[in-house]
Amino acid sequence: MIIIKTAGDIINFFATTKVKTLTTGFVPTMGALHSGHISLITKAKKENDLVVCSIFVNPTQFNNAKDFEKYPVTIEQDIYLLEQAGCEVLFLPSVAEIYPNGLKTITHFELGFLDTVLEASFRPGHFQGVCQVVHRLLEIILPDKLYVGQKDFQQSMVLKKMAETNFPSLQIVICPTQREAGGLAMSSRNMRLTSTEKKHAVTISKALEYIKNNIMAGYIEDLKKNTIEYLSTQGFRVDYVEIADANTLKPLDYWNGKELIVVLIAAFLNEVRLIDNMIVND
Ligand code: PAF
């Protein structure tokens, strides 16, 4: 695997005739890699000639300074896992490479409704930060396909919207959430959980499964309310339990039994904020 640290070197790499003709799959990450990330690399490898992964802990997408400081960094292990998975190029930029004009000169991305609900309302500015970095990475790497995880359901919708206007020929591939044996969605943030907390965190995916298996057409407000209450009694600080149209992310209080819906949860277990989601009727 080649490790490239500057935008100029990536651009030169792709300018060589040998590489120019190859299809490229791109997996953006913030490191602290786990099997979820590796599943994206594996899929990208199957569908492209060349796979590029980036590791960059993006300061502009953290609305909470503590969360940024505590974000796990495991670069040696990440490089090992990427080598094992057969990733060809690792892009490991500095803040100056991604934000050549400084962190304060921020472009605004028009994300509409998606930038007002759920994650956007609990983490103001988060998706603008995500778009800043992904836009810059796409502009440097110019991949054919971008691989993201369904675990960050709203993020994948946001990136689709951003790409529609800015990179119309880019294909976005959304890959299924990878789960631990008990059902806990894999996440870099799980590294911050103690082993007791990790066992307890499974309650979130169990709650999603409960809703998926028990939801019926009709009014669904009580199901949401009861789940919030249940998670609170289990020691979680709930940001939201929402059932939304899976194509628009519009929250629903009534389900006609037909439209494709997704259940989304965000909750703190002590210091660590966890998110997860499940599509009900896929
Ligand atoms: O999902 C993530 O890890 C990040 O939000 C991403 C897409 C790498 C942008 O920093």
pLDDT in tens, 23-32: 999 999 999 9
- Whether 195 and 94 map to the same domain: the answer is no
In a domain, 219, yes or no: yes
Q: Which of 175, 206, 222 is the last residue of a domain?
A: 175
Q: Do residues 162 and 226 both lie within one domain?
A: no
CATH code for the domain in which residue 246 is found = 3.30.1300.10
Q: Which of 34, 37, 108, 135 is labelled catalytic? A: 37
Please indicate, yes or no, if residue 78 is contained in any of the structural domains: yes
- The string of pLDDT tens digits covering residues 112-124 is 999 999 999 999 9
Best residue for ligand 1 mutational test, from 67, 126, 152, 173 (most atoms within 8 Å of Cβ): 152
Residue nearest to atom 6 of ligand 1 (CA): 29
Q: Is the CB of 119 under 6 A from ligand 1?
A: no
Tally of structural domains, the chain: 2
By DSSP bridging, strand 272-279 and strand 261-269 are antiparallel
Is residue 282 pLDDT above 90, yes or no?
no
C-alpha distances out from residue 57 to 89, 134, 242, Å: 18, 12, 28
pLDDT score of 170: 98
* Whether 140 and 60 share a structural domain: yes
| Token pair listed for 48 | 């492209």
For residue 104, the enclosing domain spans 2-175
200 is catalytic: no
- Domain final position from 149, 175, 201: 175
* Structure confidence by residue, pLDDT tens digits, 133-185: 999 999 999 999 999 999 999 999 999 999 999 999 999 999 999 999 999 99
The response to whether residue 36 sits with its C-beta less than 6 Å from ligand 1 reads: no
DSSP per-residue codes, 15-71: HSHHHHTS-EEEEEE-S---HHHHHHHHHHHHH-SEEEEEE---GGG-SSHHHHHTS
* Residue 183 maps to a domain: no
The CATH number for 30's domain is 3.40.50.620
In-domain check, residue 18: yes
Mean pLDDT of all residues in 37-52 = 98
User: Per the confidence metrics, is the pTM higher than 0.85?
Assistant: yes
Indicate whether 105 pLDDT > 80. Answer: no
